[in-house]
Homo-oligomer: A and B are copies of this chain.
């Protein structure tokens, strides 16, 4: 706390289109048109303007541009995570990376706010939109009967919802078929010979949790498997461990467990090993979402893989279409693919 290092305030004034206009000897409007590729400027003039702009290091003032009714060239994302869940899931960094890729190619930027609850998230969207700070928004962590959906609809803010169409109202959904992934996994486990499969799920309120819950129950019924009660968690390692312990110590101990994320699956693996169970000999585990994490443990976990980066990119691309007024349908991404690794095998003979 001893280091002193001051910065002086910016002295130089930024060049404006008026400066360029004066130098080139044309009007502001011609400069504006030239720089924006609008017609009505000769190629010669256009070139001269471009040269001067370059030389002066001209940068458009987005405030002025926005004020004149143009786009803000930014989209908003209010991420709702209680502090302790932050950083537990690689999912969001990946997703944001994908979103960012598309946005920055279009010279859009992302306004990000991490908030404690959906209420405050909605406030952020409302402020950004009211201030004309953003042209569109991305909504994540979709809940059942999510109050944010009607609110955003009413605001008229172009929004892409990352989540199933069943919960996205009139907003544009981008989603993947989680039910299919559950089905594929259950068929795989059933084929291996498993009859009692447990499930450690995520937060109950989320739409995708409900969808997976349902698909899980349906698959059990279809495949004639024992339906064990699903245990819900908050995605943390601790709850994943607790849930796994509960399943493994119950009288109807499962021979395989399907997790809703990577952290709980890894925690489950540790619990199993603590209890003296060998994976995959005594117990098979499947993680949802592939990440460095699940590949680094021993044995590496069988996982439901999806390209989260691409998922985010699709959402961003869809939003840009929406903002530009291009006709937009929802976008269904690929369903997560089962990637078998060392954590799944036939159940013990018993």
| A residues lining the B interface (CB < 8 Å) | 1-12, 14, 57, 59-64, 66-67, 72, 74, 81, 83, 86-88, 90-94, 96-97, 100-101, 103-104, 107, 109-115, 120, 124, 126-128, 130-133, 153, 155-159, 165, 168, 170-173, 236-237, 240-241, 263, 266-267, 270, 273-274, 291-293, 295-298, 308-309, 322, 325, 327-332
Contact = CB atoms under 8 A, between A and B. Distances in A.
B109 A291 contact: no
Contacts of A168: 5
Given A61-B67, A64-B67, A329-B3, A87 B87 contact: no
B295 A237 contact: yes
A interface secondary structure, majority: mixed
Nearest to A175: B3
Given A5-B329, A59-B130, A237-B293, 4 more contacts: A5-B170, A7-B156, A9-B156, A81-B97
Contacts of A298: 270, 273-274
A318 to B, nearest CB: 11
Nearest to A91: B87
A328 B6 contact: yes
B291 A87 contact: yes
A132 B62 contact: yes
In the complex, which of the residues A2, A90, A101, A236 has the most CB atoms of chain B within 10 Å of its own CB atom? A90
B114 A113 contact: no
B296 A263 contact: yes
Q: How many copies does the complex hold?
A: 2
A185 to B, nearest CB: 22
Contacts of A109: 111-113, 124, 128, 133
A200 to B, nearest CB: 14
A133 to B, nearest CB: 6
A1 B296 contact: no
Given A62-B133, A298-B274, A83 B111 contact: no
Given A9-B325, A156-B12, A236-B292, A104 B115 contact: yes
B63 A1 contact: no
Most buried by B among A126, A127, A156, A292: A292
Nearest to A264: B296
B10 A237 contact: no
A83 B98 CA distance: 9
Nearest to A332: B1
B325 A130 contact: no
Given A63-B63, A270-B298, A88 B9 contact: no
- Minimum-distance CB pairs A-B, first 6: A59-B130, A87-B90, A10-B156, A3-B330, A63-B66, A62-B131
A171 to B, nearest CB: 7
